[in-house]
Chain A
């Protein structure tokens, strides 16, 4: 086997090994973010897959560690936003959510039923939030980022993140109150 071919194969394997590590590390976080943004499993899979394809193709020029994390989140955020624009934003997402098959509550106890209702209500209310508020709240609540990090990811100031988190929770409280009533 010619040395250059061997080198190429070794490089490819090593690159894929790196890719696998990145994939295993960041997949759950990215999936969680997109799922909370869209409440759609198929779209979440599609978006995260697209993000990793982009990463694989540009991995040579992308930053490592923290920088990579921010880059991946920016990519999924943009892809999720594109999805939302394409599908007519929140209204359709909410309609789809309502048309989704209801949870099978057959053998659950009352407490569990209540809990599932609550979960559905919260997810539903989350989808009704404007995109700019929703993404900030999701990055805070489900990705556990600090305000400063979220600001860096979204290209806004830390103060702005603070304001958006506050407003998002306030609006959610209103939405949940409406649903309850």
Chain B
């Protein structure tokens, strides 16, 4: 099918502007192939025009109007209220999890560095110097060195 055949359906729809409409009309009048195509396109156009509006249209218009009225009576914000709160709560939970996790990790790192277990080998017979309250008497490095 040649490209200019598409003009035939456009002609049926009165969409061909002058002077091309004259050219198409002349072609339809003289070329049997064009005439056949034009008749086919026109026939379908007329067939489709036979389909009137569905009988349900008016009923549907009223039904949908009532449904929309009912929806409108629900305040606009409240229709999204739950969803907004769910979103906010989820975001807060994720944020809490991330921050909490990081804090926990940081805490473990810090504890490991500040608390150390020190094993000291003391001479046999060494008694720990305690004060009256059973507390270790703090010794200076000098005293420690002498011992």
Contacts and interface: CB of A to CB of B under 8 A. Distances in A.
B5 interface: yes
Interface in B48-72: 48-51, 53-54, 56-57, 60-61, 63-65, 67-68, 71-72
Tell which of A41, A126, A176 has the most Cβ of chain B within 10 Å.
A41
A137 B47 CA distance: 13
B68 A118 contact: no
Contacts of A146: 15
A27 interface: yes
Contacts of A41: 54, 56, 60
Contacts of B67: 49
Contact of B15 (A31, A32, A48, A147): A147
Contacts of B40: 169-170, 173
Interface stretch (A66-74, A82-90, A158-166): A158-166
B120 interface: no
B6 interface: yes
A16 B72 contact: yes
A126 B44 CA distance: 11
Interface in A58-86: none
Interface of B: 5-10, 13, 15, 40-41, 43-45, 47-51, 53-54, 56-57, 60-61, 63-65, 67-68, 71-72, 76
B72 A44 contact: no
Given A52-B68, A162-B6, A166-B9, A44 B60 contact: yes
- A interface, by DSSP: helix, strand, loop or mixed? helix
Contacts of B8: 166
Interface string A5-36: 00000000000100000010001100110011
Contacts of A170: 40-41
A83 B141 CA distance: 87
27 contacts: A27-B61, A27-B64, A28-B61, A31-B54, A31-B57, A35-B54, A35-B57, A44-B56, A45-B63, A49-B64, A49-B68, A52-B64, A53-B68, A57-B76, A122-B48, A126-B48, A140-B13, A141-B45, A142-B51, A147-B13, A159-B6, A162-B9, A162-B15, A163-B6, A166-B10, A166-B41, A169-B41
A166 B13 contact: no
A119 B54 CA distance: 11
